[in-house]
Structure 1
Amino acid sequence: MLSIDYVLIVVLLISIYTDLRFQKIYNVVIFPAVLFALGYHLAIGGAYGILFSLKGAGIGLLLFLIPYLLGGLGAGDVKLLAVVGAYKGIGFVLYSALITAIIGGIIALAILLYRRELLKTISSLLTGMRICHLPTLADEGKVSFPYGVAIALGSMTSYVVM
């Protein structure tokens, strides 16, 4: 692992803490992290390095933009994945987003099972599909959890797997 990887892991751990404790991923963590990644890649790789970082951040933003616009994710979640992309590039952020979605699904399923709401949720989804109305992600009664945790776990898992 490179030293920049340790910086990203610290950012992810801070984001886990703030998302669990305050349900927020703070810009005071996100923006310096992105600037550090951009500066690092510029210093190491020049124009190619900063393009590597910008493309990764852009893909990270785009991947979670639709769920954010539908009300399923907070802005901090979107920016956190962009940070991952800024540090590690397109390939890593794509893989991390996939692992994040799997981990997020497992967490959501566990919460539904714990609350004994799984069958009710499945029934609501099927009813919505039958009448051609899919509920938005921001509908009342949704199961929510700090998704920054899933992003951080997905990104750290990607370190191990890749």
Structure 2
Amino acid sequence: MERLGMHKLQHCLTGFAAASLSLFFIGREGIDLSILFASVFFLVVCVTDTVFARIPNLFSYTLALLALGYHALGSGLPGLNMALAGLLTGLGMFLLPFLLGGMGAGDVKALAALGALVGPGAIFQIFLYTAFLGGAMAIVHSLCKEISMGKSRPWRQAVTAAVGSGDSEGSLALASQAKVKFPFAPAIAFGYYAYLGWGAII
């Protein structure tokens, strides 16, 4: 029970931090409509993923439809094509980690919906941020789990695997390899806000 409570606390702290960041952006004056859509989406899904360990399809589908309509109305057919390309790119980015069992279908759909909103170039950059941040979160959760169970060596192996892989797919697969499950919606949210703040990685 004590270990379960510790894991729940870790999940809640991560989800609370991501939701708070979303609220910060929602409250900003003159916020871009696309950022508002994304921030409301993350506020909701970070809560549901933290509390219920799921991202309901309703929220991802709603964001995807809003994104398609937003770009179609704003830029016509080119905007719609850009949104569709972003959706497909986001869907493809999480395909391998999903097949490896490192994340759920809800995470894949969430990134796809976000891709429809931001476009293919931006979603690729967000994916890179999310991959490394998600890998870091997996290390922290793995470390806390091993400490709570009185072990210490596996976390060193997790760090070595993440640093040595040097690629985003390896970072995302870390949670699966370490058998650590945690809400991934906050990692996507952190990746999105990191991209807003720091721009493209490559």
Q: Which residue of 2 aligns with 1:131?
A: none
Deviations 1:54-74 (A, max 9, x none): 000100000001111121110
More displaced, 30-39 or 141-150?
Answer: 141-150
Distance 2:152 2:89 in 1: 32
CA apart distance, 1:138: 5.6
CA apart distance, 1:145: 0.6
Q: Which residue of 2 aligns with 1:150?
A: 187
**Unpaired segments of 5 or more residues in structure 1?**
127-135
SS in 1 for 2:94: helix
Distance 1:110 1:86 in 2: 31
Distance 2:94 2:70 in 1: 25
Counterpart contact for 2:115–2:123, Cα < 8 Å: yes
SS in 1 for 2:95: helix
Counterpart contact for 2:91–2:111, Cα < 8 Å: yes
What's the TM-score once normalised by structure 2's chain length?
0.69
Counterpart contact for 2:86–2:119, Cα < 8 Å: yes
Counterpart residue identity of residue 7, structure 1:
F
Counterpart contact for 1:60–1:81, Cα < 8 Å: yes
CA apart distance, 1:118: 5.8
CA apart distance, 1:44: 0.6
Alignment of 1:88-103 (within 5 A): 88-103=118-133
Alignment of 1:107-118 (within 5 A): 107-115=137-145, 116=147
Distance 2:60 2:66 in 1: 10
**Unpaired segments of 5 or more residues in structure 2?**
1-30, 162-173
Counterpart contact for 2:72–2:80, Cα < 8 Å: yes
Distance 2:75 2:152 in 1: 49
CA RMSD of aligned residues (A): 2.3
What's the TM-score once normalised by structure 1's chain length?
0.85
Q: Which residue of 1 aligns with 2:136?
A: 106
Distance 2:152 2:130 in 1: 21
Deviations 1:73-109 (A, max 9, x none): 1001001111111000111101111100111111111
Aligned partner of 2:73 among 20, 37, 43: 43
Aligned partner of 1:159 among 196, 199, 202: 196
Q: Which residue of 1 aligns with 2:153?
A: 119
Counterpart contact for 1:70–1:137, Cα < 8 Å: no
Extract structure 1 runs of 4+ deviating beyond 6 A: none
CA apart distance, 1:137: 7.1
Aligned residues: 152
Larger relative contact order, structure 1 or 2 (CA cutoff 8 Å, min sep 6): 1
Percent identity over the alignment? Answer: 35
SS in 2 for 1:145: coil
1:27 correspondence with 2:61: no
